[in-house]
Structure formats: structure tokens, C-alpha cells
Amino acid sequence: MGRRGKYPVIENVKIEDVAAEGKAIARVNEKILFTTFAVPGDVVDIQITNKRKSYLEGYVVRYHEYSPLRTEPFCEHFGMCGGCKWQNLPYAEQLKFKQKQVVDQLTRIAKVELPEVSPILGSEKTKYYRNKLEFTFSESRWLSQEEISSGADFEPEPALGYHIPGKFDKVFDVKNCYLQPEPSNSIRLSIKKYAVENNLQFLNLRSKDGVMRNVIVRTASTGDVMVILVVKTYSDEIGGLLNYIKNEFPQTTSLFYVENQKVNDTINDLDLVLFHGKDYILEEMEGIKFKVGPKSFYQTNSEQAYELYKVAREFANINSDEHVYDLYTGTGTIANFVAAKAKHVVGIEYVPEAIEDAKVNSEINGIKNTSFFAGDIKDLLTEGFMQEQGYPDVVILDPPRAGVHPDVLDAILHASPKRIVYVSCNPATQARDIAILDKGYRVTQVQPVDMFPHTHHVENVVLLVKRD
């Protein structure tokens, strides 16, 4: 055991497993040790950064042996970027660990009787699968570990890329990102080149001096492209850049800019200005079109979202005389997707703008058997509401990572639908909620779905059937 700074370097540690959140696990002196960028079978030295009573955290400083599971990462930014942390694992192994994560969490947390968990549905595309990315401007790029270790002096250079994990004021310059298809990389690189050549000041992330803040690129399965330029203040120079984007990338169907003078990067509370084209792009799924505006939520892996929703629809097994409630409906994607099977679909979502999008999506597709309501689900899902809209035969849940509010679970138990389909991006909170629903429902089907290759994230769909 060596020592470097406050905490020791622990030598010759064998990585044993992968934990939730994608961290690698080892055991040292009966304590769990968490680290990153290692795979089971690696033998490494780890610099400890955090000591707790029951566990340790640290990062790898040396590899003694590489695991036979390991594969060569394909991205030059691996190890610096916070995304795609499992590139060093073959995709088949990633799927095994995600399957295990779902089974472990349902078993350990839910503690309910489970059927055999179906094999995980992998993503056909493991690169260039995302439809939305956000990049940040910085007046000074973050240096790589190799550059720092070289001891050479580097002049400050502007960057357009991603934040270093855990460092809000540090951005590394992205050369090529394997997450989003073209023209995403070309648009980002061209914007940076134009901004540098025309002396547009990149943001200082600490002082907030500078005009160039962010650029968001959305691509759709239909070929539509949306670009959102976020600046501190608009000027003729910014207008010149927007005209450049419009002319250089004529496939851009929707071009916005927004002035953001706040400390944070969120733009949902700001007014966006349409500079060119339509104020939306179109996604399509089984002939159903979905309008996606600059603030709209849409599953970031369009093709795999289709596979996910097909599973949810199959599990729901909706009859033409049944009422369906789609809770946490967002922009009504699932509600509109299953509407053809149902008598009536009710969608509820707390974000009013999303509900307006959901209504529009029904309208443009000629879907007339949906109703959408904005508000807190636990407040809306009352006896009077269900009497008016019809008691649900099927409830579909697709909550955020925090899971379903206990009051909503109580309301569902009171409503007593025949079937509940629970779509989750966090199997741990899903398992917690299933334990509560177990008093009235049994789990009959479980289907994990991989939406985000090379990350630890996994979606899971569970069918719960009312107990006799």
C-alpha cells in the first residue's frame, strides 16, 4: 500500500464486479471499494479519494493486468468524458451486467415473487443513437491527462464540448462524438470554427463573461434537424453566425436562438426566438407523427424508444372497450401510441407545456379518443376525476428516476385497474414501488430494455396483474 496525499494508494486490487451507477467494485479489508473506468478482472492500483465506514472510493492510477473482458475504447475522449463509460466492455458484456442489475434490484429491494426475467433487448445501434445533445462553450479548454503530464506549456484555447464530470467550470473540446448522427458533429465543429474566426467571445464559466454559451442539436428519425444557439446577448455578429448555420446546413429545418443571462444553463424558463424554418421537428413512430419543439421532451434514442413502447403496449394488452390512464405522460407519446387499441386514453403530466404538445400530437394524427390534463397527479387522480373520465382498466406508468409518489400509488390501488404497466428508467425506485403495489398486484412479466449503450443506464418494463 502506497500513500499519495491525504489517502493511500491501494495496490494490486482485483476488480470483481459492476455496481449500480456503472461503478466497478472491489473488496479491500472487508470494505467495498468503488472506482471508475475499470472492468471485472482488471488488477489495478487505486488512489483512494473518499473513506467511509462501510466503503471506499477512488480512481485507478495504474493497471497491472487487463481483464480478458476488456475491449479497446473507440472514442479518443474516453476517460475524460463523463459519457459512454462502458466503452471498455464489449456490448454483450454490458447487456449481461444490465440484466443482472435489474434482477438484483427487483430481488433485493422489491422482495416480491417474480417470474423469470426476459433477456434484455439490446439496441441495434450502439453508436450515433441519440437525437439530442447539448454542448458548452468555454474560453479555455481542459487539457488531457497526457498533456498535463507532459509538462509542456499550452496556450489557452477555446472549447466547444462537454463539462468534465464534477467540474462545472471545466469543458473539454470535443473532436468527434459517437452519440449523435450527422450533421451533429459537422454543425458543432463549423460553429466553433466560425466563432473563433470572427472573434466571438466564448464564455468564461466562472465570471460569466463572454457571449457564446451553448448549442443544442436535435436530430429526428424523419431527417429533420433543429439547432438552438444559446448566447448571453444577441447582436448583429450572432445574426451572422445564425445565417452561416442556415446557409452551411440547409437540412436544418428549425433554427432558434435564445438569450440567457442567468448563472445556470437551463432555458426552459426563457423565450426562444425562431430565426429560420419551423418551430418544431417531426418524429415518427408506426406512422404516428410527434411534434418536438425546442423545449419538448422526447426519448433520446428514437429507434429504441419504439421497441420500448412496443413492449409496454404488448404488456398492456388493451381491449377496444377499455379505459387507459397514462400517468407521467410527458408529450403523450405512449398515450397516442396505444390509443388505437383503447376506448379512451387519459394522459396526466405536471408540465403544462408538455400537455399542450400531447394535445397537438393527438390532433395532427387525427386521434380523437385521448384526453390530457396538466397538474400534480396525486391531486388530480381523485374519485371525482375517475368517475368523470372513467375508471382505468389499464394504468401505464413512466415516471422520472425518482419513481412514483406514494400518494399516486395509493390512488392507483384505490382505482383498482386490472393491469399496471410500469416503465422505468431506474429499476431501484421501480422495485421500491412494486413492493408497495404488491398488496394488490403480482408481477407477471419483466422485460429490460437497453436504451443507452456504453452507459450503465437501463430501462425496465414490468407487468403487474390484479390479484384474484
In the chain, where the domains are located: 2-65, 95-125+297-466, 132-285
Can you give the pLDDT at residue 29? 87
Contact 395, 421 (CB under 8 A): yes
Taken as a whole, the chain contains a residue count of 468
Grid coordinates belonging to 337:
401510441
What secondary structure, in 3-state letters, does the chain show? Answer: CEEECCEEEEEEEECCEECHHHCEEEEECCEEEEECCCCCCCEEEEEEEEECCCEEEEEEEEEEECCCCCCCCCCCCCCCCCCCCCCCCCHHHHHHHHHHHHHHHHHHHHCCCCCCCCCCECCCCCCCCCCEEEEEEECCCCCCHHHHHHCCCCCCCCEEEEEECCEEEEEEECCCCCCCCCCHHHHHHHHHHHHHHCCCCECCCCCCCCCEEEEEEEECCCCCEEEEEEECCCCHHHHHHHHHHHHHCCCEEEEEEEECCCCCCCCCCCCCEEEEECCCEEEEECCEEEEECCCCCCCCCHHHHHHHHHHHHHHHCCCCCCEEEEECCCCCHHHHHHHHHCCEEEEEECCHHHHHHHHHHHHHCCCCCEEEEECCHHHHCCHHHHHHHCCCCEEEECCCCCCCCHHHHHHHHHHCCCEEEEEECCHHHHHHHHHHHCCCEEEEEEEEECCCCCCCCCEEEEEEEECC
Q: What is the pLDDT of residue 5?
A: 54
Looking at 3.30.530.20, 3.40.50.300, 2.40.50.1070, 3.40.50.880, the CATH number of the domain 132-285 comes to: 2.40.50.1070
Model pLDDT, residue 149 = 67
Across the beta sheet with 225-231, the strand order is: 167-173, 159-164, 132-138, 212-219, 225-231, 252-259, 273-277
- Identical topology for domains 2-65 and 132-285: yes
Correct CATH for 95-125+297-466 of 3.40.1260.20, 3.40.50.150, 3.30.365.10, 3.40.190.150: 3.40.50.150
Are 420 and 440 in contact by the 8 Å Cβ rule? The answer is no
> What is the per-residue pLDDT for 35?
93
CA 357/CA 74 separation, integer angstroms: 38
Number of neighbours of residue 398 by Cβ within 10 angstroms = 25
Q: β-strand 31-35 against 55-65: which pairing, if any?
A: parallel
Integer Cα distance of 420 and 442 in angstroms: 10
Q: What integer pLDDT is reported at residue 64 of this predicted model?
A: 96
Tell me how crowded residue 253 is: count the other CB atoms within 10 A of its CB.
18
> In the prediction, which pLDDT does 151 show?
67
Angle between helices 236-248 and 184-197 (to 10 degrees): 140
CB–CB of 239/267 below 8 Å? no
Dihedral pair phi/psi, residue 158, rounded to 5° = -70, 155
- Report, as residue numbers or ranges, the catalytic residues: 425
pLDDT per residue of the chain (468 residues) written in tens, 0 to 9: 444 457 899 999 999 998 867 789 999 988 999 998 899 999 999 999 999 988 999 999 999 999 999 999 999 999 889 889 999 999 999 999 999 999 999 999 999 999 999 999 999 999 999 999 999 999 988 877 676 666 676 777 899 999 988 777 889 999 999 999 999 999 999 999 999 999 999 999 888 899 999 999 999 999 999 999 999 999 999 999 999 999 999 999 999 999 999 989 999 999 999 999 999 999 999 999 999 999 998 999 999 999 999 999 999 999 999 999 999 999 999 999 999 999 999 999 998 989 999 999 999 999 999 999 999 999 999 999 999 999 999 999 999 999 999 999 999 999 999 999 999 999 999 999 999 999 999 999 999 999 999 999 999 999 999 998
| CB-based contact 444:468 (threshold 8 Å) | no
The set of cell numbers assigned to 164 is 468534465
Contacts of 209 (CB under 8 A, 6+ apart): 201, 203
Going from the C-alpha of 2 to that of each of 8, 50, 448, the distances in angstroms are 6, 16, 42
pTM of the entire structure? 0.91
In CATH terms, is domain 2-65 a member of 3.50.50.60?
no
